[in-house]
Amino acid sequence: MEASINIEKKTQSIQRISKNFSFLFAARVVDAGSQLLMISLISRYLGTSRYGDYGYIISFAFLSIVFTYMGLERIAIREISKDKSKSGQYLGACITVRWAYATLGWMCMTGIIVFLHLPSDIIWGIYIANLALNLMGESYIYFALFKAHEKMGYETLASGVYQFLNVGSVLFIVYFNTGFITLFIGLLIANLVRNILCLIIAWKRFSSPSFKINFHLLKFFVKESYSLGFFILLGQVFVYVDLFILKIFKSTHEVSMFYGPHNFFLLLNFIPASLMASIFPVLSRSASTDKKSLTYGFEKSFRILVLAALFLTALFVIFAEQIVAIFFGKEFQNALLPFQIIAISLIFTVPFHAIEFTLVSINKQNFLFLCPLIGLLMRTILNLVMIPKFGYVGASIAATCGYFFLFLIGFFFINRFVVFQPIHKLLLRPVIASMLMALCLYPLNKINIFIMFPIGFIVYSGSLILTKSFPADESQFLKLVMKKTSSLLRHKISFNRNTT
């Protein structure tokens, strides 16, 4: 009897997670697809001479606002999912704290800009991008509300509107050749509209943010988010340190050769983050009530992310030449080797999301900051040694090694706090399956990737079945996800036909 109840609970949990993931997956596919299109449009529009400046501005703006996030979204998801009746209070407190952090960030950014004596167009770009990204940060607080209530469809809607405006503005800028700065103005407008839309959804469907001053609640969010915010700040410095060191030693052309592939793979990490965001409310509840469900959730999400990472890594390394030509154009043909090197980092970055979210769910976020801290130290040393001699190729090697250390330290901590199967039992068979797929696909790397991608997926699936590396419960999860996602897409296609 108890066994049947446990199976029923797992089935219900899988159904709920698959539904949430389907919406978030659709949102992240829209985000990633739109951003990849924008990479292609902007890199071709600006060329290697100015694309490096664009990357520098975006990276600088991210670093200037990143600590304002302070992990507030994840803390808000955790707290709202435990007590939904206080959604408005938590939402208002998080927004208040975030804009207080944003003010401090703006002051620090201004001081650094004055010190660096940057060109005027770079300064204007940084300030506009900073405001746009601050509005993006507020939107993420609203996304926390949607996720905590497990209503991810609203995030999908907001993401669709945002990317429609974002891509539309870039197409307008490229077609009418309105100039460098207008790229950042378009980003600002898209984020402003999305933020207003999220406020309306929260007000109409859930609870509008309450800005009544509650010092106890404000203090709570500052205290809870401090260590997680430090982790996020370190994480962003860790991610962009190569670019800044490369800019010091080498030309803008070399910055472009590194930034293009690196940004491409950063965008792909939004999708595994979506899976973990859909599981996060369940993990948070399980952390205090059901340790077995917590372990189950971590193991399955970790394995699924590893399966995806191995497939994508093999595909991107084998078909790198075609992908670089499609997304970046002939001017970026020298980015082929960096693209292949950084593609390997997916093996470490994608599964790390499972480690990160699980540690936060069990209130062990204080240990997270050590992951990017040690990774940053190793990455900086490698960059300083390799960039002067090897340029953007050296930066790519340093970045991939840094991601390896990030994963290694994270795995050490999760192994301390969560009891799960030995690593070789989780990963050995998927690794063998991915190697079999790579051996089959490599001789065919000149065939069009759009033909080879589905063939590769079929070969990989066959390899997984052959190596018996796909348990029944994971198959059930993926079937439910595919069913929900296809149903969602059919509904959207039907809606579009009816409205046109």
Amino acid present at 303: R
Average pLDDT, the chain: 80
Q: What percent of the chain has pLDDT above 70?
A: 80
Write phi, then psi, for 113 (nearest 5 degrees): -60, -45
pLDDT value at residue 149:
81
pLDDT value at residue 124:
95
Q: How far apart are CA 193 and CA 207, in angstroms?
A: 19
Lowest mean pLDDT among 108-112, 129-133, 273-277, 427-431: 273-277
Instruction: Judge whether 385 and 245 are in contact, CB under 8 Å.
Output: no
- 385 — pLDDT class (breaks 50, 70, 90): very high
Q: Could you tell me which residue, 139 or 235, shows the higher pLDDT?
A: 139
Highest averaged pLDDT of the listed ranges 223-227, 331-335, 415-419 = 331-335
Amino acid present at 84: K
Q: Is 363 helix (H, G, I), strand (E, B) or coil?
A: coil
pLDDT in tens, 421-431: 667 676 788 88
pLDDT in tens, 346-367: 999 988 888 887 887 777 766 7
List helix spans (H) across 319-422. 320-328, 336-343, 346-361, 370-417
Residue 470 in this model has a pLDDT that exceeds 80:
no
Residue 200 sits at the vertex; the CA angle it makes with 197 and 204, to the nearest 5 degrees, is 145
pLDDT in tens, 318-331: 999 999 888 888 78
Q: How many CB atoms lie within 10 A of CB 442?
A: 12
pLDDT value at residue 76:
82
Mean pLDDT confidence for 292-296: 71
Residue 483 in this model has a pLDDT that exceeds 60:
no
Residue 182 in this model has a pLDDT that exceeds 90:
yes
pLDDT value at residue 499:
41
pLDDT value at residue 288:
56
pLDDT in tens, 436-467: 888 988 888 888 888 888 888 888 888 888 87
Q: How far apart are CA 474 and CA 463, in angstroms?
A: 16
Phi/psi-derived region of residue 432, left when phi > 0, alpha when psi is between -120 and 50, beta in every other case: alpha
Tokens of 487: 């149903």
Mean pLDDT confidence for 204-212: 83
Domain extents in the chain: 12-491
- Provide the angle, in degrees to the nearest 10, between the axes of the packed helices 291-318 and 2-69: 60
pLDDT value at residue 411:
87
pLDDT value at residue 19:
63
Residue 21 in this model has a pLDDT that exceeds 80:
no
Residue 286 in this model has a pLDDT that exceeds 70:
no
pLDDT in tens, 402-423: 999 989 998 888 888 776 666 7
In 3-state terms the chain splits into helix, strand, coil percentages (rounded to 5) of: 90, 0, 10
Q: What percent of the chain has pLDDT above 90?
A: 21
Mean pLDDT confidence for 186-207: 91
Residue 490 in this model has a pLDDT that exceeds 60:
no
Instruction: Enumerate residues 6+ apart whose C-beta is below 8 A from 353.
Output: 269, 272, 273, 275, 276, 305
Mean pLDDT confidence for 115-122: 88
Mean pLDDT confidence for 206-222: 81
Residue 487 in this model has a pLDDT that exceeds 90:
no
Q: Could you tell me which residue, 473 or 186, shows the higher pLDDT?
A: 186
Q: How far apart are CA 391 and CA 337, in angstroms?
A: 12
Amino acid present at 146: F
- 472 — pLDDT class (breaks 50, 70, 90): low
